[in-house]
Amino acid sequence: MSRTAFYDEADIYVKAGNGGDGCVAFRREKYVPFGGPAGGDGGKGGDVLLYVDPHLNTLHRFSRRRHFKAESGKHGSGKNQHGASGAEIRIPVPPGTLVSDDGTGELLGDLTEPGQELIVAHGGCGGRGNARFATSTNQAPRIAEHGEPGQERNLHLELKLLADVGVVGMPNTGKSTLLTAVTAARPKIAPYPFTTLQPNLGVVVLDNETEFVLADIPGLIEGASEGKGLGHEFLRHVERTRVLIHLLDGLSADPLADFATINRELAAFDHGLAEKPQLVVLNKIDEPQVRERWPEIEAALKAQGHKPVAISALAREGTRDLLYRAAQMLAEVPEQPPARELPVFRPAEDETAFSVEREKEDVWQVHGVQVERLATMTVWNLDEAVYRFQRALDRMGITEALKEAGIKPGDTVRIGDREMVWEE
């Protein structure tokens, strides 16, 4: 079965809103002969943010919609009227969602707590109207700015279920039966391998003060850590659990060999799975042949340092004692932060930095956050705006850098998506 059956991974595209354009306008009032500049600013573009919705447990909604775009800001207008800000777009995700930039692989956030939010694309700021450019020496400026484009990016979402206790084991050991017996969850159960094709969650309530989340992880087989069977797709969901119930099939030809196989796969997958506390449980003790072989299996497991228990999930024999044992182990294991956390410090990008690159004999490319933003926001059909852009190039040192690189009159200069012809 395809991994998308459970929808624990998704790729989406997000685009924040563009900022609105600033306006060039002047006051036109009766008996006011020298009305000043009155062009308003454009509104800010809407952000795109993800937030944790505790009622979701898969990324299924992204199979139907993968593109999300926030509203752009409105343009400014005369009489100093500023444009309205664009509406943000809020995207719900289930608890346990890791958010990464699909292009760079950078981890942007680990969303685990209900209500937690993460802005994944910032809306562009609004362009300034000509009222903002008035000075004592230029009291009637004919200059304004375009709004800044909103950020856009491709994101990779990966879900790792948040459960306190995970039930692992070979296929058909009775994991789903155990979940059904001790919680209100109703997973599909049938007497053939790989009945469970997706993890299932249930809440165990022992008393007023003791409850925890139990996850039934689909059956693992030898080679699961290398992608065989279904295990490789769901081993990631074991990462966030704090305690493992390792369920053994009492009717298996060799339960001890099964136990060793699963432990090898947990160790091979790494991420600390092999170090998690395990409660080893032999299932189907209601069968006479299982009850007969239990002392031998118990002795072998105790020799390995475990304290095994025997239950019958179907007959609900010994399940309550098992749950109290699991709760006790949970109380002894401190809660740990997620394995992958956001960096504590990220160096701020130097927006004034730039580079000059010669693409062809007569074509030059200028890269830089600030200069590319300035080129995008400049209104090129306004002479004052063009002069302002030229002064900014001089002030930032870009004009001098192009001269030193050997630019000649008539050469093409590209800044962002703008092309200009160089003139002395």
Number of residues written out for the chain? 424
pLDDT at 271: 62
Residue 60: DSSP 8-state:
G
In the chain, the percentage of residues whose pLDDT exceeds 90 is 45
Q: Which DSSP string do the residues of 207-218 spell out, in sequence order?
A: ETTEEEEEEEPP
Residue 254: which pLDDT band, with cuts at 50, 70 and 90? very high
pLDDT at 21: 96
User: Residue 405 CB: number of other CB atoms within 10 A?
Assistant: 11
SS3 labels along 19-58:
CCCCCCCECCCCCCCCCCECCCCCCCCCCEEEEECCCCCC
The hierarchical CATH code for the domain 1-159 is 2.70.210.12
Average pLDDT over residues 64-79: 94
pLDDT at 232: 47
Residue 241 in this model has a pLDDT that exceeds 50:
yes
Q: Which DSSP string do the residues of 359-386 spell out, in sequence order?
A: EETTEEEEE-HHHHHHHHHB-TTSHHHH
Taking Cα atoms as reference points, which of 417, 414, 413, 412 lies closest to residue 376? 417
pLDDT at 2: 33
pLDDT at 224: 39
Average pLDDT, the chain: 83
Residue 137: which pLDDT band, with cuts at 50, 70 and 90? confident
Distance, in Å, from the CA atom of 278 to the CA atom of 306, rounded to the nearest integer, reads 8
Longest dimension (CA), the chain: 107
User: Residue 121 CB: number of other CB atoms within 10 A?
Assistant: 24
| C-alpha torsion angle, residues 220, 223, 228, 232 (rounded to 10) | 60
pLDDT at 286: 92
| 212-226 confidence digits (pLDDT tens) | 878 787 755 444 344
Residue 264 in this model has a pLDDT that exceeds 60:
yes
Average pLDDT over residues 404-414: 90
Average pLDDT over residues 156-171: 83
Each domain of the chain, given as residue ranges in start order, spans: 1-159, 165-332, 355-421
pLDDT at 187: 46
Taking Cα atoms as reference points, which of 245, 261, 251, 262 lies closest to residue 181? 245
Residue 29 in this model has a pLDDT that exceeds 90:
no
Average pLDDT over residues 95-116: 88
Residue 115 in this model has a pLDDT that exceeds 60:
yes
Please identify which residue in the block is written with the tokens 């209104």. 379
Residue 167 in this model has a pLDDT that exceeds 90:
no
- Give the CATH fold of the 165-332 domain: Rossmann fold (3.40.50)
pLDDT at 128: 95
Secondary structure (3-state) at 225: helix
pLDDT at 227: 44
Lowest mean pLDDT among 116-125, 156-165, 282-291, 345-354: 345-354
Please identify which residue in the block is written with the tokens 């966030």. 240
| Amino acid code (one letter) for 83 | G
User: Residue 153 CB: number of other CB atoms within 10 A?
Assistant: 17
CATH architecture type of domain 355-421 = 2-Layer Sandwich (3.30)
| 372-402 confidence digits (pLDDT tens) | 999 999 999 999 999 999 999 999 999 999 9
SS3 labels along 251-289:
CCCCHHHHHHHHHHHHHHHCCCHHHCCEEEEEECCCCHH
pLDDT at 198: 57
Residue 336: which pLDDT band, with cuts at 50, 70 and 90? low
Residue 270 in this model has a pLDDT that exceeds 70:
no
In the chain, the percentage of residues whose pLDDT exceeds 70 is 84
Residue 269 in this model has a pLDDT that exceeds 80:
no
Residue 413 in this model has a pLDDT that exceeds 50:
yes
Secondary structure (3-state) at 113: coil
115-120-125 Cα angle (round to 5): 115
String of b and e for 261-298 (b: at least 16 CB within 10 Å)? bbbebbeebebebeebebbbbbbbbbeeebeeebeebb
